[in-house]
Structure 1
Amino acid sequence: MPDAEVYLLKEFLSGPAAEALFAVLEAKAAWKQEKIKLFGKQIDQPRLTVWYADAGKAYTYSGLTWEPLPWLPELSEVRKNLESLTGTFFNSVLLNLYRHGQDSMGWHSDDEPELGQNPTIASLTLGQERSFHFRHRTQPELKHKLILPSGSLLLMASETQHHWQHQVPKSAKPLEPRINLTFRFIE
């Protein structure tokens, strides 16, 4: 992909490790369904979310400000392993629970000011594999689709967020739940 630095590691976690982490997070995470403003209307987000981060690392997107919850031990362990693998420091993680095929995330870039100029986003998938789409902001013919299996790690770095948008589209097929963890550094 031009204007991007994207890596996919399909087996960051083994099958059993991914299943175990999914079960823990599904049960222990403080899931919420917040309302967001879309085209001037307040609607329920089409997924459940929760924000864990170091103290004082709030995050604002789609008109919502997330105050950090203290790290769960399991999330701290994943963070430590990610930092060792990538050489990047992460102080926060946004969890998304896609309960079925109708839960989704629309086109966006992770380009909020608190993420800094060229953020590195480490995205870990657990549970149902899902399609993940990219499109270039200024060259609409440039598109890319990936399938993200359980245990996979997608790393987006450098100028990726400046030039590309991404989404997790709705699916008409019946799908099992998926949890996505996006580790970030909040300035």
Structure 2
Amino acid sequence: MSTTLQSSLLDLVEEPELAALGRAERIPLSRGAWVDLLPGWLTGADAVFAELLDTVPWYAERRQMYDRVVDVPRMLCFYDEQRPLPNPTLRQARERLTAHYAGELGEPFRTAGMCLYRDGRDSVAWHGDTIGRGRNEDTMVAILSLGSARQLALRPRGGGPAVHRFPLGHGDLIVMGGSCQRTWEHAIAKTAKPVGPRISVQFRPRGVR
């Protein structure tokens, strides 16, 4: 797949390495929601990005939008529990997240959804991950960002302007926990600014999409 990534000078290491999750900063939101933020969780992220870009079987989707069918503005791939992850660093990341959040989550992270934002025209609208148990239960979604930074915006469910904006890329981690998927929404907006490609890897427990 032909895309151009401007590499980070801080990412030039021989082997990918994950930092300690205890360094994450917890940001309380409202109504029992919170996010943990850890910039640069994965060093060597650009090499992982390049491998995923070339080896993941990316596909496009079309979805019903009111009275017409439209293209989903990003490429996708989903790894369920039975499907091996395509990179050993991602397997290690999922294991580290499971171990660190065991006390709060009470179950493993099991699946990995992936989105490829090819440029500033790709985006995801305001939403919460409420397909399945996330509609009624507190849960967690951990997002590892690879490639160029894009702003992930957060706002309380019900509309209004973004309350938080986090520029995520080059190995940054954000974990959305508590009631976040039910009571808050997140989005990646389109931008006219020149931006390179980004891959978002979303680790989730069973029954959450």
Residues 1:43 and 1:142: Cα distance change in structure 2 (over 3 Å): closer
TM-score of the superposition, structure 2-length normalised? 0.76
Shift of 1:149: 3.1
The CA distance in 2 between the partners of 1:34 and 1:142, in whole Å, is 27
- Of 129, 133, 147, 2:149 maps to 129
Identical residues among aligned pairs (%): 31
The CA distance in 1 between the partners of 2:206 and 2:86, in whole Å, is 18
Q: Verify: 1:42 aligned to 2:69, yes or no.
A: yes
- Of 26, 41, 57, 1:12 maps to 41
Q: Verify: 1:82 aligned to 2:97, yes or no.
A: yes
Does the 8 A contact of 2:145 with 2:168 survive in 1? yes
Shift of 1:112: 1.1
RMSD: 1.8
Q: Which amino acid aligns with 1:9?
A: L
Shift of 1:20: 1.3
- Of 95, 98, 106, 2:125 maps to 106
**83-92 or 135-144, which moves further after superposition?**
135-144
Q: Per-residue CA shift, 1:39-82, capped at 9, x if unaligned? A: 23211110000000213xxxxxxxxxxxxx43224332221222
The CA distance in 2 between the partners of 1:45 and 1:118, in whole Å, is 27
What pairs up with 1:19-58 in 2 under 5 angstroms? 19-55=46-82
Structure 2: any 5+ residue segments left out of the alignment?
A: 1-28
- Matching residue of 1:166: 186
Q: How many residues align?
A: 172
The CA distance in 2 between the partners of 1:139 and 1:169, in whole Å, is 15
Q: Secondary structure at the match of 1:20?
A: helix
TM-score of the superposition, structure 1-length normalised? 0.85
Structure 1: any 5+ residue segments left out of the alignment?
A: 56-68
The CA distance in 2 between the partners of 1:186 and 1:163, in whole Å, is 20
Shift of 1:107: 0.5
Does the 8 A contact of 1:54 with 1:71 survive in 2? no
The CA distance in 2 between the partners of 1:86 and 1:178, in whole Å, is 26
Q: Which amino acid aligns with 2:112?
A: V
